[in-house]
Homo-oligomer: A and B are copies of this chain.
């Protein structure tokens, strides 16, 4: 990382920063500009309490050099992930379509939709049995009953399933029925849920949070990967902006950025 010292930093300030960095095993490389000094520091950032560094006298700013996500990063693993679910190869050249209704409402209508979804060429059937609703008065999903309906539709159609989980206590139950676990946008930084989903062993479809940066999204993926599960599917679903002519603003450019930065497709 690079520590930028303020213009008013004294020689003593600079020495103190170097000393502190040395104590934590960093090698330091000061560069004295005409107006400001910057200090390059090589070492393991995880050992360091960054807040105690940035509040030292004379420190203006700290610029990280390495990405904060490790296992998810193309810097550490060159080959992108391909996830096989049934005969779908997610992350390969193939475009895998996942479709279905927002919520599972009843067996008959869900089956009817499932058949149309298969006819339309999708390979994965989506449906919500646990729904994260903005209002406590809205229908919250059929829960296990909904999962059973989905499993039945899988039997009938041969489609694989993706469904959302919203509570750490339900991960085991949901994993029993589904082929892919979905983490919704509102739970993208529900870190305990990410870990539980990761430990389930099932592929995890991770929706981007409403106002999540690409870096935060990849850090959320890192939680899953660091639980021992690299089968993460990133889902760009639009972000929140000032524009409300549309419900969300699809951040199309995020897709090539994510492909360049991470092992995910």
Contact between B211 and A35 (Cβ–Cβ < 8 Å)? Answer: no
Q: Which of A116-124, A149-157, A172-180, A188-196 contacts B (4 or more CB under 8 A)?
A: A188-196
Please choose the segment from A9-17, A36-44, A84-92 that sits at the chain B interface, where 4 or more of its residues have CB less than 8 A away. Answer: A36-44
* Stretch of A107-115, A199-207, A238-246 at the chain-chain interface: A238-246
Inter-chain contact A211/B242, CB cutoff 8 Å: yes
Q: When the two chains form their complex, are residues B135 and A215 in contact, meaning their CB atoms are under 8 A apart?
A: no
* B213 adjacent to A210 (CB under 8 Å): no
Q: How far is the CA of A219 from the CA of B242 in the complex (A)?
A: 17
Contacts of A186 in B (CB 8 A): 189-190
Give A61-74 as 1s and 0s: 1 = Cβ < 8 Å from B's Cβ atoms: 00101101010000
A79 within 8 Å of B (CB atoms): no
Taking a contact as CB atoms under 8 Å apart, the answer to whether B40 and A40 are in contact is: yes
What is the 8 Å Cβ interface bit string for chain A, positions 148-187, against chain B (1 contact, 0 not)? 0000000000000000001111000000000000000011
CA distance A201 to B70 in the complex (A): 41
Q: Which listed residue, B7, B29, B169, touches A169 by the CB 8 Å rule?
A: B169
* A135: B residues at CB distance < 8 A: 68, 219, 222
- A190 to B210 Cα, complex, angstroms: 13
What B residues does A216 contact at CB under 8 A? 134
B residues within 8 A CB of A36? 65-66
Is A97 positioned at the interface, with any CB of B under 8 Å from its CB? Answer: no
What 0/1 readout, one digit per residue, does chain A (235-264) give for beta carbons within 8 Å of chain B?
Answer: 000011111111001111110010000000
Closest to A195 in B: B136
The CA-CA distance from A210 to B242 in the complex, in Å, is 11
**10 closest A-B pairs (Cβ-Cβ)?**
A211-B211, A31-B40, A186-B189, A167-B192, A214-B245, A246-B253, A29-B31, A136-B226, A136-B223, A241-B241
A interface list, Cβ under 8 A from B: 2, 4, 7, 29, 31, 33-36, 38, 40, 42, 46, 63, 65-66, 68, 70, 75, 132-137, 166-169, 186-187, 189-192, 195, 210-211, 213-216, 219, 222-223, 226, 239-246, 249-254, 257
